């Protein structure tokens, strides 16, 4: 059947849901065009079906597909940001990266190389699916593109700054320790948000602090409120290039049961979305949404949450494209000044 798409400002948007029901046809993210259906894209959504780095429940390799399926219902106007992300920027679904499920080192190389290739034309990436191992190559690529270490906001129940598991250095519990050691993150501007749950020992926190991480625990978010947390994060990040990594287990298992290492006492999806909206105007350069494991999900609760989180990330990036275009038109402003 012929695809009928919404088009505005020269940007090809989602399948027109007033003509074709959203539940029909193949799922791309938000029913956006595939990358091969557009000439160029400002923002690319790409799946990373990889879960060979998990320490507990597997299944995040199926996260990309689940997030795409759950994203069918997303609508093109974002009221909280007063923004139509698919009109102000060309957003496209770049499909899935083909990563080796049997060789973690090779998978990491592939992800870094593909992330660099996809951003060669100046596009920014939002990745969906995979376990948290993949944040390391994505951060390497982001730092390479930025030409310097990037600021990091890491939303997660876990620190993911552990050293090794069974002697393995590249796992979903270790990406940010490796990133700090490799100097791809700016340790003056790295924060965890939503941390909670039992650790192996107090040393986990001491090591983490040594790497420069600040922490807003999920209890801090509850006690301080979203606005104060946002203010603290914005101050820490400033105008640095910012990477946002979102482990869906940052949400309480009630909001995200479909994940590999669930921890009680997490944030609500409302809190997470509101914090993300508070990041508007920062110099976001890329983001991931990881650890969606659909086999443990119910009624797409987790996949729906992840698809909305990805939509907000895409919206922040699209907003930046719009600000840059406005700035170029009026000959003023930089992204960081435009808050």
Ligand X SMILES: N=C(N)NCCCC(=O)O
Tell me which residues touch Zn ion (CB under 5 A).
132, 156-158, 160, 247, 249
Contact 238, 193 (CB under 8 A): no
Q: Is residue 149 involved in binding ligand X (CB under 6 A)? A: no
Q: Which residues pair with 53 in a beta bridge?
A: none
DSSP codes joined into one string, 103-171: -HHHHHHHHHHHHHHHHTTS-EEEEE-S-GGGHHHHHHHHHHHHTSPEEEEEE-SS------BTTBSSS
Choose between 156 and 271: whose C-beta lies nearer to Zn ion.
156
Distance CA 10, CA 21 (A): 24
Nearer Cβ to Zn ion (42/247): 247
For ligand X, the closer of residues 136 and 237 by Cβ is: 136
Tell me if 255 is assigned to a ligand binding site: no
Q: Tell whether residue 227 is among the known ligand binding residues.
A: no
Question: What does 77 bind: Zn ion, ligand X, none (CB cut-off 5 to 8 Å by kind)?
Answer: none
Beta carbon nearer to ligand X, 302 or 320: 302
Using the 8-state DSSP alphabet, how is residue 267 labeled? Answer: B
- Dist. CA 161–CA 211, nearest whole Å: 9
- The annotation status of 319 as a binding-site residue, yes or no, is no
Instruction: State the minimum distance, in angstroms, from the CB of residue 164 to Zn ion.
Output: 16
Beta-strand pair 91-96/124-128: unpaired
Measured distance CA(308)–CA(302) in Å, rounded: 10
Site for ligand X in 250-289 (CB under 6 A): 260-261
- Is 90:43 a contact under the CB 8 Å cutoff? yes
38 to 57: interface string for ligand X, x by CB under 6 A: -----------------xx-
Nearer to ligand X, 49 or 173 (CB): 173
Binding residues for ligand X, how many (CB under 6 A)?
12
How many helices and strands, by DSSP H and E, does the chain display?
10, 10
Count CB atoms within 10 A of the CB of residue 142: 29
Contact set for ligand X, span 71-130 (CB under 6 A): none
User: Interface with ligand X includes 154 (CB under 6 A)?
Assistant: no
Residue 247 lies near ligand X (rule: CB under 6 A): yes
**326 annotated to a ligand binding site:** no
Kindly state whether residue 249 participates in binding ligand X, applying the rule CB under 6 A.
Answer: yes
Among 44, 140, 154, 172, which residue interacts with ligand X (rule: CB under 6 A)?
A: 172
Euclidean distance between CA atoms 296 and 264, whole angstroms:
15
Q: Is 192 in the site for ligand X (CB under 6 A)?
A: no
CB-based contact 311:30 (threshold 8 Å): yes
Is 121 annotated as contributing to ligand binding? no
Does position 158 bind ligand X by CB under 6 A?
yes
Please pick, from the candidates 132, 145, 240, 280, the single residue that binds ligand X as defined by CB under 6 A: 132
Least CB distance from residue 146 to ligand X, whole Å? Answer: 24
The number of beta carbons lying within 10 Å of the beta carbon of residue 9 is: 13
Which residues contact ligand X by CB under 6 A?
A: 55-56, 132, 158, 160, 172-173, 247, 249, 260-261, 291
Binding-site residue positions for Mn(2+) = 132, 156, 158, 160, 247, 249
């Amino acid at each position: 059947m012929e695809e009928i798409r919404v088009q505005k400002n020269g940007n090809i948007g989602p399948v027109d849901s007033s003509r074709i029901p959203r539940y029909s046809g193949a799922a791309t993210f938000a029913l956006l065009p595939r990358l091969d259906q557009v000439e160029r894209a400002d923002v690319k959504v790409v799946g990373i079906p990889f879960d060979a780095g998990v320490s507990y429940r597997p299944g995040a390799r199926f996260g990309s597909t689940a997030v795409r399926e759950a994203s069918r219902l997303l609508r093109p106007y974002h009221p909280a940001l007063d923004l139509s992300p698919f009109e102000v920027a060309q957003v496209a679904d770049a499909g899935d990266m083909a990563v080796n499920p049997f060789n973690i080192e090779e998978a990491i190389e592939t992800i870094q190389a593909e992330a660099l290739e996809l951003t060669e034309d100046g596009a920014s990436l939002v990745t969906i699916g995979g376990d948290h191992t993949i944040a390391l190559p994505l951060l390497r690529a982001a730092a390479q593109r930025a030409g310097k270490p990037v600021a990091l906001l890491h939303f997660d129940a876990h620190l993911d700054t552990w050293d090794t598991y069974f002697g393995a250095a590249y796992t979903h519990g270790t990406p940010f320790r490796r990133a700090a050691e490799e100097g791809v993150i700016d340790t003056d501007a790295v924060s965890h948000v939503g941390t909670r749950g039992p650790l192996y020992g107090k040393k986990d926190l001491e090591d983490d602090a040594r790497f420069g991480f600040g922490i807003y625990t999920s209890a801090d978010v509850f006690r301080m409120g979203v606005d104060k947390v946002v203010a603290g994060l914005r101050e820490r990040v400033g105008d640095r290039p910012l990477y946002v990594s979102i482990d869906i287990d940052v949400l309480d298992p009630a909001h995200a049961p479909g994940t590999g290492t669930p921890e009680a006492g997490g944030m609500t999806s409302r809190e997470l979305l509101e914090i993300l909206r508070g990041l508007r105007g920062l110099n976001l350069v890329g983001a991931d949404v990881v650890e969606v494991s659909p086999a443990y999900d119910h009624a797409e609760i987790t996949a729906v949450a992840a698809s909305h989180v990805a939509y907000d990330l895409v919206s922040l990036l699209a907003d930046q494209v719009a600000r840059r275009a406005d700035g170029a038109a009026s000959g003023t402003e930089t992204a960081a000044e435009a808050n």
